[in-house]
Structure 1
Amino acid sequence: MTGTAALRFSPQGISRFVQTNFRGFLVAAVLAAAAKFLSEHYGAPAMLMALLLGIAMNFLSEGGVCKPGIEFTARTVLRFGVALLGVRISVETMLDLGPHLIGLVIAGVILTILFGIVVARLLGRGTRFGVLTGGSVAICGASAAMAIAAVLPKNDESERNLIFTVIGVTVLSTLAMIIYPVLAGMFQFSPEQSGVFLGGTIHDVAQVVGAGYSISEDTGDVATLVKLIRVAMLAPVVLVISLIVRRQGAQTKGKRPPILPLFVVGFLILGALNSLGLVPAALIPVLSGLSQWALLIAIAAVGMKTALKNVFEIGTQAIVLIVAETVFIALFVMGGMLALGG
């Protein structure tokens, strides 16, 4: 062990690390708690509230004692929260849907990302932005956006693009939670069809649950199950992106990222353990709740790193892109579901 590493893991190193990062983390945690309160008492999306509260405190990231902790929280706590998402995954429960519906959902994820890349290029927004928005719409909203952003190469627009994507998918997901159950009723979908439609198209897990159980318990169960398949796609999608970025880094002689980021390894390990029944049932809601809090705290920190004026500079093309991706996955899942006969 080198002297630097020894110092880092010594009592003095740990104490210094805590002193450096605690203030920024604490501010982000307080904002996350406020966002949770607003969500529970006024029905506002917790992720969106944490993001907006963080943006309002942007001045704290411009310098001073909070800045290192904000950087740490936006990066490391984010990865920790994404890794814990793996505890929601269980192969056994997902197989209950059958191969055709599973194939439909997986195809929807892949094609939505590809659609996002193509449309982003046509609109002049670039491949990275298409991957970021397409992945967040296709997989699990804000959580996917943060996971994908963690492995994409950074540039001057990275944080602005991430903030826009989180706001965009959260707003659209909330609208979908209200509109899509009405559409399911208009098309006279069965409870299972409604569950597949809602779980296969709405971006965020919380909104899927809200929309599904607003129709019926059976619809809510199916919608949640379908959504978990999309969440399970997070690891392979991030892995593919990481491999592409690594290859491009080798070609440009830049620093190459790891083949498989540690937070993806954690996600896969927890998913595998849960599938094998090795995670105690009482521990699953605890870890899932810890994941939600970690992501909420991290998005508050990301908000603090972003100036609101930069978000407004994103342009109408970006709005058109994320709306188009949302419409695409909705039409694809609905059409595929009807073609399969439910």
Structure 2
Amino acid sequence: MEAVRPEAVRSWLGRTGPGVAVAAAGAAAAMVINGWVPALSALTVAVLLGVLVGGALPQATAYGLQWATRKFLRIGVVLLGLQLSVGEVLRLGPGMLAVVLVTVLSGFAGTLALGRLVGVSKGLALMVATGFSICGASAIVAMDSVARSEKEDVATGVTLVTIYGSAAIAVVPFLGAHVFGLDRETLGMWAGLSVHEVAQVVAAASPAGAAAVGTAVIVKLTRVVLLAPMVAGMGVVERRGGVHAEGKRPPIVPLFVVGFLVMLALRSAGVVPGPVLTSAKDVSTVLLAAAMFGLGSAVRVRELVKTGRRGLVLGALSTLLVGTVALTALTVIPR
């Protein structure tokens, strides 16, 4: 085995270090802001900070930011698998699992159809469908690993998750309690089914009490479990469609998605100590925030504006679709 030369390591660090340091600083700032305003997800704040400062960053940071976005995202998604066990999912019962499945599949397929109707690119429609139906920004970037999508599509999808997920924090509890007359548990379930980021789900369910928040988070993380099969399915579709622009066939199942499933299995087996689970959750958030900052830094607002109006329409329609399907499924399917 050939030894790694010190000069090569120094060269790599010289190219990568500045960008990684900036991504880490962006993640730290996002975590601080999240501490001040818990309703704002650290991932949401991180991508917005990246968009704000991206155009002003020196070229020397570009390579490291790209590296951090790609690598930190994958590790962060792997660690997400430790946040839920199969036992917690099964305790929801077959009726509630059916509600989750119907909501995710209907939201995904319906948003793709709405994307064609509105006239956005296939890449943007896929990003919005993934983020709104499964688990927000992390799902969008995971799907990007197997799909033919542009950076602008990914960034726009994350931005729309931020806009409509934040709006849902106020809208979902108001409609649930004062318009639809939902009891606390059902309101928590609806929040877990229809709101995008975990932090947004917690904020939306909190007016209904701690028990509703707990239910909402479990329902939400059950949606996260569906990330793996959805990404794998899209990987199969994309491979049949040919190669990426860079000449590579997309993977059927990205290695980090396999890692996510392995972590889920370890959590389900009960072999991971509690302190490790707590630390893994924190590390996952920090890594995903750094990745989101890197993603945002590559965005140019002028490019986003070109598709902004249609994207906003698609986001509104997708939000309405997912929320309506979720509420209808909760009403119709016995739990």
SS in structure 1 of the partner of residue 242 of structure 2: helix
Give 2:108's aligned amino acid: I
CA contact (8 A) 2:233 2:252 kept: no
Among 288, 293, 298, the residue aligned to 2:286 = 293
Among 74, 83, 88, the residue aligned to 1:79 = 74
Paired residue for 1:163? 155
Give 2:310's aligned amino acid: Q
TM-score of the superposed pair, with normalisation by structure 2: 0.93
Residues 84-116 of structure 1: CA deviation (Å, up to 9, x unaligned)? 111112110111111011011111111111111
Displacement of 1:46 in angstroms is 2.5
Give 1:134's aligned amino acid: A
* Residues in 2 aligned to 1:48 and 1:228: alpha-carbon distance in whole angstroms: 18
Task: In structure 1, list runs of 5 or more residues that go unmatched.
Answer: none
Among 21, 34, 41, the residue aligned to 2:36 = 41
Paired residue for 1:106? 101
Percentage of pairs with the same residue: 30
Among 85, 89, 92, the residue aligned to 2:84 = 89
* Residues in 2 aligned to 1:266 and 1:45: alpha-carbon distance in whole angstroms: 24
Displacement of 1:341 in angstroms is 5.3
CA contact (8 A) 1:45 1:174 kept: no
* Residues in 2 aligned to 1:12 and 1:211: alpha-carbon distance in whole angstroms: 52
Match status 1:70 vs 2:70: no
SS in structure 2 of the partner of residue 97 of structure 1: coil
More displaced stretch, 132-141 vs 52-61:
52-61
How many residues get paired?
333
Match status 1:220 vs 2:216: no
Distance 1:118 1:185, change over 3 A: same
What RMSD over aligned residues (CA atoms) do the two structures have, in Å? 2.1
Give 1:123's aligned amino acid: V
Residues 157-204 of structure 1: CA deviation (Å, up to 9, x unaligned)? x11111111111112111111111111212222222111111010011
Displacement of 1:47 in angstroms is 2.4
For residues 220-259 of structure 1, what are the structure 2 equivalents within 5 Å?
220-249=213-242, 254-259=247-252
Displacement of 1:37 in angstroms is 1.5
For residues 1-342 of structure 1, what are the structure 2 equivalents within 5 Å?
6=2, 9=4, 11-43=6-38, 44-59=40-55, 64-154=59-149, 158-186=150-178, 187-249=180-242, 254-340=247-333
SS in structure 2 of the partner of residue 207 of structure 1: helix
Displacement of 1:319 in angstroms is 1.2
SS in structure 1 of the partner of residue 250 of structure 2: coil
* Residues in 1 aligned to 2:122 and 2:50: alpha-carbon distance in whole angstroms: 28
SS in structure 2 of the partner of residue 141 of structure 1: helix
SS in structure 2 of the partner of residue 181 of structure 1: helix
SS in structure 2 of the partner of residue 66 of structure 1: helix
Displacement of 1:330 in angstroms is 0.5
* Residues in 2 aligned to 1:86 and 1:333: alpha-carbon distance in whole angstroms: 24
SS in structure 1 of the partner of residue 60 of structure 2: coil
Displacement of 1:250 in angstroms is 6.1
Give 1:190's aligned amino acid: D
CA contact (8 A) 1:106 1:229 kept: no
Task: In structure 2, list runs of 5 or more residues that go unmatched.
Answer: none
TM-score of the superposed pair, with normalisation by structure 1: 0.91
Residues 293-333 of structure 1: CA deviation (Å, up to 9, x unaligned)? 11100111111111111111114222111111111010011
Displacement of 1:17 in angstroms is 2.5
Distance 1:262 1:40, change over 3 A: same
* Residues in 1 aligned to 2:44 and 2:243: alpha-carbon distance in whole angstroms: 37
CA contact (8 A) 2:160 2:311 kept: no
Distance 1:42 1:250, change over 3 A: closer
